[in-house]
Amino acid sequence: MKRLPAQFLAAALGVFLAAGASSAQTSTDNGKRRLPKLFAEAVASATESTVRVQVANKDVALGTVVSPDGYILTKGSELRGDISCVFRDGSAYDARYLGYHRPSDLALLKVDAEALKPVTFAEPKAGIIGNWVAATGITSEPVAVGVISAAARKLYGEQSFIDNTNKGYLGIILGDIADGDGVLVREVSKDAPASKANMKAKDVILELAGKAVKGRDNMIELMENYRPGDTITVKIRRGDEELELKIKLGSKADLNKDPKNIDRSEIQNAMGGALSGRRTGFPMVIQHDTVLKPTDCGGPLVDLDGKVLGINIARAGRVESWTIPGDVVLPILKDLKAGKYPLGKKD
């Protein structure tokens, strides 16, 4: 079938949406459900390079095939335990977790498969404000469609700091110590998991679940592996004594149970559905208004011509999703394949 020019499709979308806006509510709802069908050809090629990533047979993200011999990029903060990748034809493969680049939240997986179709990323600055885009899944239709609302940009302020609300919560404020071995507990929040386990200010954390803690940043990285409800053993030094504490991790969401800590902007952002647990701290993002589910991050974003603009990395707000541009992804992929960011740095 001959492909329609992108300009024609864009014009058709404008007419389609205008008609939907002037129709009765039922007609508009039906129109929204039919809208992804208009993008079927645009996503056709990239869909062949998209997989569903599962942990313990539960959907956690999408993945993007980046090499014919089984290398796949996905959203790393969603991964733990046994990982598998499900392809469009229904075939499933166990996946090895090779590396993690924490700033971008991109993880490299490897499946034992050959002759896969990798994505080809578009030229830099291909994503133009106002252009239509679609997020691919593993079916013939996209998982979401929308328009680019901001071209590739860096993040500033609070958005530039990495905060993963998926991870387990201790309820402590950390500080560095002079020799770099361990990390100082500067403060313990009242009624937090650490407080309930009798952790105290001025304790020094030496090990987390049997792994040596080497400073504040290392402690934060180690915590990425654990989720609310997990129980971990924390070895501390208190004065001249070493102790082991068993702590059942909580969730940062627990903070909102206290009216004093309610973040109203977060509540408003989440009114359209769940947001990604890790949605800040990325090096560069394209912003678009597709309403992605967190489990649909990790796959390609394409324009009307089917060009892959990058990899969707987070649903950051009610109508705000973020994509890491292809020209940012490629050097990260090269370093991951070279072993520069081994899994050990995340463990």
pLDDT bracket for residue 62 (50, 70, 90): very high
Torsion angle in degrees (nearest 10) through CA of 264, 266, 271, 273: -160
98 and 111 Cβ atoms separated by less than 8 Å: no
Query: In 3D, which of 78, 146, 153, 139 has the Cα closest to residue 109?
Result: 78
Q: How confident is the model over 127-164, as pLDDT tens digits? A: 899 999 999 999 999 999 999 999 999 999 888 888 88
Spell out the domain ranges in the chain. Answer: 43-159+268-345, 172-250
Q: What span, in angstroms and rounded, lies between the C-alpha atoms of 56 and 48? A: 24
pLDDT bracket for residue 11 (50, 70, 90): low
303 and 288 Cβ atoms separated by less than 8 Å: no
* CATH fold for the domain made of 43-159+268-345: Thrombin, subunit H (2.40.10)
pLDDT bracket for residue 262 (50, 70, 90): very low
Query: In 3D, which of 93, 346, 226 has the Cα closest to residue 336?
Result: 346
Q: How confident is the model over 81-132, as pLDDT tens digits? A: 899 999 999 999 999 999 999 999 999 999 999 999 999 999 988 889 999 9
Answer positive or negative: Cα dihedral of 50, 322, 220, 342. Answer: positive
Q: How confident is the model over 63-78, as pLDDT tens digits? A: 999 999 999 999 999 9
pLDDT-above-90 percentage for the chain: 65
Q: What span, in angstroms and rounded, lies between the C-alpha atoms of 129 and 326? A: 16
Query: Considering the entire predicted model, what is its pTM?
Result: 0.79
Name the CATH superfamily, with its identifier, for domain 172-250.
PDZ domain (2.30.42.10)
